[in-house]
Amino acid sequence: MKIKPRTAEHSATVLADFILPGSANMVGTVFGGKVLEMVDKAAGVCAMRHSNKLCVTVAMDRVEFHVPIRVGSLLVAESRLARVGRTSMTVRVEVYAEDLMTGRRLRTNSCTVTMVAVDRRGKPTPVPPLAEG
Ligand SMILES: CC(C)(COP(=O)(O)OP(=O)(O)OC[C@H]1O[C@@H](n2cnc3c(N)ncnc32)[C@H](O)[C@@H]1OP(=O)(O)O)[C@@H](O)C(=O)NCCC(=O)NCCS
């Protein structure tokens, strides 16, 4: 049976988390692993919204941290499908740090994540194609 295509808008996702001192590294800015966790969650939610299936991370491209993120910032991860294969979905994630006192928002990094939809046995399973528009 053919699966009905879905647009990238359908699954576009925004996740936000207030950064508390428990997420700081030794110099008082955000631990890189915290940012990667947000990236992975935002990509996973996007892939699961698109497919309505369980999804696992199969690959994550190079991540660079150019801007330190201060404790007390709002960390925002925006994810959107860039490409859909038979069972895999490529998700682009943009990460921002928002200063809640000034409202200033800085893009801190971006990342491309490949997620794969799996069945209950953990085997790849087909997902809806990506519709235009
Ligand atoms: C993801 C997983 C189910 C894929 O299983 P597999 O036997 O390699 O499956 P396949 O070779 O049939 O590939 C399935 C899809 O993944 C894609 N894929 C596989 N490895 C990839 C990689 N390294 N990068 C990008 N895409 C990849 C394939 O191109 C294919 O896409 P398509 O169906 O859209 O054409 C399996 O590798 C796995 O369980 N990995 C662990 C996932 C996990 O635990 N993630 C959490 C990180 S700790």
- Separation of alpha carbons 122 and 41, rounded Å: 19
**Domain map (residue ranges) of the chain:** 8-118
pLDDT at 109 (0 to 100):
94
With bands split at pLDDT 50, 70 and 90, how would you rate the model's confidence at 43?
very high
Could you read off the pLDDT of 82-113 as tens digits, one per residue?
999 999 999 999 999 999 999 999 999 999 99
pLDDT at 133 (0 to 100):
72
- Separation of alpha carbons 49 and 92, rounded Å: 15
- Separation of alpha carbons 131 and 7, rounded Å: 5
- Separation of alpha carbons 35 and 80, rounded Å: 17
With bands split at pLDDT 50, 70 and 90, how would you rate the model's confidence at 132?
confident
pLDDT at 101 (0 to 100):
96
**Is 58's C-beta closer than 6 angstroms to any atom of ligand 1?**
yes
The CA distances from residue 62 to 23, 43, 95, in Å, are 22, 15, 14
Which ligand 1 atom is nearest residue 122's CA?
3
pLDDT at 3 (0 to 100):
87
**Is 3's C-beta closer than 6 angstroms to any atom of ligand 1?**
no
Could you read off the pLDDT of 2-13 as tens digits, one per residue?
889 999 999 999
User: Taking a C-beta distance cutoff of 8 angstroms, is the pair 114, 58 a contact?
Assistant: yes
What kind of architecture, by CATH, is found in domain 8-118?
Answer: Roll (3.10)
Six token digits for residue 64? 């660079």
